[in-house]
Amino acid sequence: VTKVKSYDEAIVALKKGAEIIKVDNVYCRYKGNEQSFHKFVDALASNKTCKMLDLYWNFIGPDGSKEIANALKVNKTLLKLDLALNKIGHQGGIAIGEAFEHNNTLTNLDLVGNGIGDDGAGVISNALHDNKALHTISLSFNGIGPLGAEYIAEALKENSTLLTLNLTQNVIGESGAIAIGKSLE
């Protein structure tokens, strides 16, 4: 694991061929580092060595998640992405979901605690209809309600590659739980 304290260090790690990069959330935050983050994401888009990227709690927000989403559309190497606790909101969830229409490489995505809501869950679910790479997705603590759960349930009817779905601490209610349960029959 290559641990870095800045997005500039992350660029260097990519250039050196690092396969696993963890961007330290104590030293590195998106706000105030937008240009460095943009350069890092540009480098990530064409990178052919990094298989795992951990941006846990970097507060990249909707803008940073849109940049990551654009990189995911062209990157064919990254297998695991941790975007937990980044405050991406529903706009970021929508951008990430749209990226999955173009990415069939990523197998593991962590979006815990981002407030993507039903809108973000809906777009991610649309992408799951055709995506055959994603095996694990963590959507806990995202404010997903019954409607978002119904979107996910519809996607699960079509998707046979997703093995792990974490929806803990959402507000899917009984109707959402029933819809997901029925989709797995």
Per-residue tokens: 151? 């979107």
In this prediction, residue 168 carries a pLDDT of 98
In this prediction, residue 27 carries a pLDDT of 83
Tens of pLDDT along 43-75? 999 999 999 999 999 999 999 999 999 999 999
In this prediction, residue 151 carries a pLDDT of 98
Residue with tokens 């989709």: 183
In this prediction, residue 43 carries a pLDDT of 98
In this prediction, residue 26 carries a pLDDT of 84
SS3 159: coil
Q: CB–CB of 121/145 below 8 Å?
A: no
What are the residue ranges of helices labelled H in the chain?
7-15, 34-46, 61-74, 89-99, 117-130, 146-158, 173-183
Q: CB–CB of 155/126 below 8 Å?
A: yes
Segments of the chain scoring below 50 in pLDDT: none
Give the whole-angstrom CA distance, residue 105 versus residue 51.
Answer: 10
In this prediction, residue 28 carries a pLDDT of 87
